[in-house]
Amino acid sequence: MTPSRQRPILPLIGAHMSVAGGLPRAVERAVVHRCDALQIFTKNASQWRGRLLPPEEIREFRARVKAARLGAVLSHASYLINLATADAALLRQSMEAMGDEIDRAEALGLMGVVLHPGCYTAGSATEGLRIVADALQELLHARRRGRTLVLLEHTAGQGTALGASFEQLATIIRLMKGHRRVGVCLDTCHLLASGYDFRSPGGYESTCTAFGALVGFERLKAFHRSGAGSIATRTSARDSSGSSPSGDW
Ligand SMILES: [Zn+2]
């Protein structure tokens, strides 16, 4: 074996854990289940407002994540947020809520916030994609010093939901001028529902080829394995460059 020989890149495997009893409890649960990655809701996912996180709770959460050596911790944004809407009031409310999600994630030292791109409510999908991109640009611009990523989740594409094709995810990223803090989260269930059947060797290869060509694996930061309840994440863009996510399915 030569020193330069490349070692395989292993994904960090984890799960979405309940925060009942306080955010630090989610880390305890992750440790019990031997996770090396974790996803949480930093507030109730079906409400606009969340409780204020006390500084002691934030400190304890960060200390426990460090002690548990979790390689990546993510949050999932509220399901109410719709950054693709043409309704000005709903867009404003969604931006405030998403800004709050990013701020919470930043305070907690999370790697990223998983976000459903949203549903367009008027006009075309193209207009919806533009509204999402502009909203995210504005939110990240207002938080230039932050590190937390926004991870666009690939969706099943029901109704007018955006993000069910790799093309749409790529369009949002392109409209954001390839912002360094935007990534992607894939989900096995959503992939199948939207026509990316990766279960056969041929389907797997064509799905990977399409994703690599349109979005790029350097943007792939998390993978939801729906049904199994686990997530896999990648720690850095550098590590995932040019490789296929074979261990993450
Ligand atoms: Zn989701």
Distance from Cα 91 to the centre of ligand 1, integer Å: 19
Expressed in angstroms and rounded, the spacing between residue 29 Cα and the centre of ligand 1 is 20
Tokens representing 202?
């041929």
CA–centroid distance, residue 168 to ligand 1 (Å): 16
Query: Higher confidence at residue 242 or residue 234?
Result: 234
* Ligand 1 (single-atom ion) residues, CB below 5 Å: 153
Residue 246: pLDDT band (50, 70, 90) is: very low
Nearest alpha carbon to residue 156 among 226, 235, 230: 226
Distance 3 CA to ligand 1 centre (A): 41
pLDDT tens, residue by residue, 133-191: 999 999 999 999 999 999 999 999 989 999 999 999 999 999 999 999 999 999 999 99
Question: Which of these CATH numbers, 3.30.70.260, 3.40.605.10, 3.20.20.150, 3.30.70.20, describes 12-240?
Answer: 3.20.20.150
Distance 115 CA to ligand 1 centre (A): 7
Q: What pLDDT sits at residue 60?
A: 98
- Phi/psi at 173 (5° precision): -65, -40
Distance from residue 188's CA to the centre of ligand 1 (Å): 11
**pTM metric for this prediction:** 0.88
For ligand 1, the distance from its centroid to the CA atom of residue 200, given in whole angstroms, is 25
**Contacting residues for 143 by C-beta, under 8 A, at least 6 apart:** 99, 102, 103, 106
Q: Separation of 226 CA from ligand 1 center, angstroms? A: 10
Q: How many residues belong to the chain?
A: 249
CA separation for the pair 56, 30 (Å, rounded): 20
The Å distance, Cα 76 to ligand 1 centre, comes to 7
Determine the distance separating the centroid of ligand 1 and the alpha carbon of 154, expressed in angstroms: 8
Distance 133 CA to ligand 1 centre (A): 18
Going by C-alpha positions, the residue among 235, 244, 249 that lies closest to residue 210 is 244
Residue/partner pairs of 234-238 with CB below 8 Å, 24 or more apart: 234/9, 234/11, 234/12, 234/72, 235/12, 235/71, 235/72
Q: What is the distance in A from the centroid of ligand 1 to the CA of 92?
A: 21
pLDDT one-digit tens code per residue, 108-129: 999 999 999 999 998 899 999 9
Instruction: Report the pLDDT averaged over residues 80-93.
Output: 97
Residues 151-165: pLDDT tens digits? 999 999 989 999 999
CA of 40 to the centre of ligand 1 (A): 11
DSSP the chain: --TTPPPPPPPEEEEE---TT-HHHHHHHHHHTT-SEEEE-SS-TTSS--PPPPHHHHHHHHHHHHHHT-SEEEEE--TT--TT-S-HHHHHHHHHHHHHHHHHHHHHT-SEEEE---B--SS-HHHHHHHHHHHHHHHHHTTTT---EEEEEP----TTBS-SSHHHHHHHHHHTTT-TTEEEEEEHHHHHHTT---SSHHHHHHHHHHHHHHT-GGGEEEEEETTTTEEEE-S-HHHHTT---TTT-
| Angle value at C-alpha 187, between 134 and 153, nearest 5 degrees | 10
User: Residue 189 C-alpha to ligand 1 middle, in angstroms?
Assistant: 11
Q: What is the band of 226 on the pLDDT scale with cuts at 50, 70, 90?
A: confident
**Degrees to nearest 5, angle at CA 172 with 166 and 176:** 140
CA of 102 to the centre of ligand 1 (A): 16
Q: Return the pLDDT at 11.
A: 86
